[in-house]
Amino acid sequence: MSSVGTHELLTFFIMVGVFCAGAFFLRLQIGISMMCGALAGVLVGGYLFPLDDLIRHLVEGMFSYLDPILIIATATMFMFSIERSGLLSTLAHWTIRAFRRVPIILLAAITIVIMLPGMLTGSSTAAVLTTGALMAPVLMHMGVPRDKTGAIIAMAALLGMAAPPVNIPALIIGAGVDLPYIGLDLPLLVLTLVPALLCTWALGLPHCWKCSTAGSDADLPRSVAGKYGARLFLPLVLVVVLLVGERLFPGRIALGLPLIFMIGTLTGALTGEKVQLLPVSRDAFRAALPILGILMGVGMFIQAMTLTGARGEVVIQALRLPRGWTGLYPVIGTSLPLFGAVSSFGAASVLGVPFVLSLPTSSSVIIVNTAALSVIASLGDLMPPTALAGLFAAQVVGEPKYLRVLRWCVVPGILIAIMALLAIQHAEFLARYLVFIGGS
């Protein structure tokens, strides 16, 4: 290895070390820790001066994820709007009533409902604390033990975070390699919905086969459909129609995700329980602010890696690994989730971007690779000591030791990582059937 390459790798490890020290030992916010890592890289790389250039690079990096920031902010507002309008609890009520006597279908419906907030906000925590909290009593009433209920919620929330239409690790990786957020929907749906359903069935069905009811109507989440009728569901229907319309008619419908979510938010304020837009916006931004801060920190970190050459050197080292199960794949399958213990978004930026550049980047193959890497990075939300998905799921079900919840997530997590790596291995084949860009 040349002395230049050694210096760039040293810069990279110093950046990661400063980031981890800030996140773990100083307990700084992830976004602030990422910024500190970026500043350390600039200092070691010798780019601290002139200061106006340094400031320009940091600002450029901060706003390199402006599109994801707008998507997450507006999606969180939409989520809060339909929650306070009564739509979410009504949806949960109807789902349970419709399938309460068929456990296999009920468990599938519960899984999709839990995933929904994560699909819209890109946050597993949002899913756990909203629909996860709604469904936890139902699952336990059906006979699912407390720890397995927590595992079902954690896995559904995590895979909802990785599902379309909003997958933040995929957005981060895509922005890092100049890949538009187009064509990812179907690959992500296959890589998340299928394992989510299989995981819920494996954990829940053994306890539910003899279950004939999910409790009386009094035990169900509150429904306001009788008061507002079909118009209550208009915001969700409108958002789905516009999202699908953008994919099917890209030349005619080009609103963009932020505008679509804003339309849904405004509609939600008029179709159900009274929703005050100003408090909803304030609460939504307060909830989304940690994620938005992470994205700004990630942007600065990637900008510093690019400026110092550390990003290119990491890609070169990844390219030197033998392709396949004896080299690159095990490194991807272990390093992305382990780094995700600090932040799955940080893992997507620091490692996901170099990994996707080290894999074939031709045509639609890069889309499948990006989707698979984003799912593996999302598994970081199961990794101690942070383990956000498992930690909050344990709190929701009242389990004092969150490791009891996480133990049921180990095997599903490993199988999901293997499935994603198989998708990378067969990306060219999958791209023929799962990737659709525009009308091509």
pLDDT for 3 equals: 53
User: CA 168 from chain center: how many Å?
Assistant: 5
Directed axis angle between helix 103-121 and helix 133-141, to 10°? Answer: 170
Tokens of 149: 């209920």
User: Could you give the maximum distance between any two Cα atoms of the chain, in Å?
Assistant: 72
* DSSP H helices in 46-184: 51-62, 66-84, 87-99, 103-121, 124-127, 133-141, 146-162, 168-176
Q: What is the pLDDT of residue 147?
A: 93
Per-residue pLDDT, 439: 42
Q: Give the pLDDT score at 344.
A: 82
**Does any domain span residue 292?**
yes
Query: Tens of pLDDT along 170-224?
Result: 988 988 888 888 888 899 999 999 999 999 999 999 887 655 554 556 667 788 8
Do the domain assignments include residue 179? yes
pTM across the whole model: 0.80
Give the single-character DSSP code of 386: T
Residue 376 within a domain: yes
Q: Residue 197: inside a domain, yes or no?
A: yes
Residues 337, 379: contact at Cβ < 8 Å?
Answer: yes
- C-alpha span between 170 and 252 (Å, rounded): 25
Q: How many domains does the chain have?
A: 1
Does 110 map to a domain? Answer: yes
Residue 439 domain flag? no
pLDDT attached to residue 160: 94
Burial letters 277-302, b for 16+ CB under 10 A, else e: eeebbeebeebbeebbbbbbbbbbbb
Range of the domain at 116: 3-434
Query: Could you tell me if 304 and 349 are in contact, meaning their C-beta atoms sit under 8 angstroms apart?
Result: no
CA distances from 255 to 250, 264, 389, 433 (A): 10, 12, 32, 26
What pLDDT is stored for residue 392 in this prediction? 85
Residues near 430 by beta carbon (within 8 Å), at least 6 away in sequence:
187, 368, 423
| Residue 97 counted as domain residue | yes
In tens digits, the chain (440 residues) has pLDDT values of 555 567 888 888 899 899 888 887 888 888 888 899 999 999 988 887 788 888 888 888 888 778 778 888 888 888 889 888 988 888 888 888 888 788 899 999 999 999 988 898 888 888 888 888 888 888 888 889 999 999 999 999 999 999 998 898 998 898 888 888 888 889 999 999 999 999 999 999 988 765 555 455 666 778 888 888 889 999 988 988 888 787 777 667 678 888 988 999 999 888 989 888 899 899 888 888 887 888 888 888 888 888 888 877 877 887 788 877 888 899 999 989 988 776 788 788 888 888 998 888 777 899 999 999 999 999 988 987 667 788 889 988 888 888 899 999 999 999 999 999 999 999 999 998 888 765 43
Q: Using N-to-C axis directions, what is the helix angle for 133-141 and 87-99, rounded to 10°? A: 20
In a domain, 440, yes or no: no
- What is the C-alpha separation between 25 and 234, in angstroms, rounded? 47
Looking at residue 72, its pLDDT comes to 80
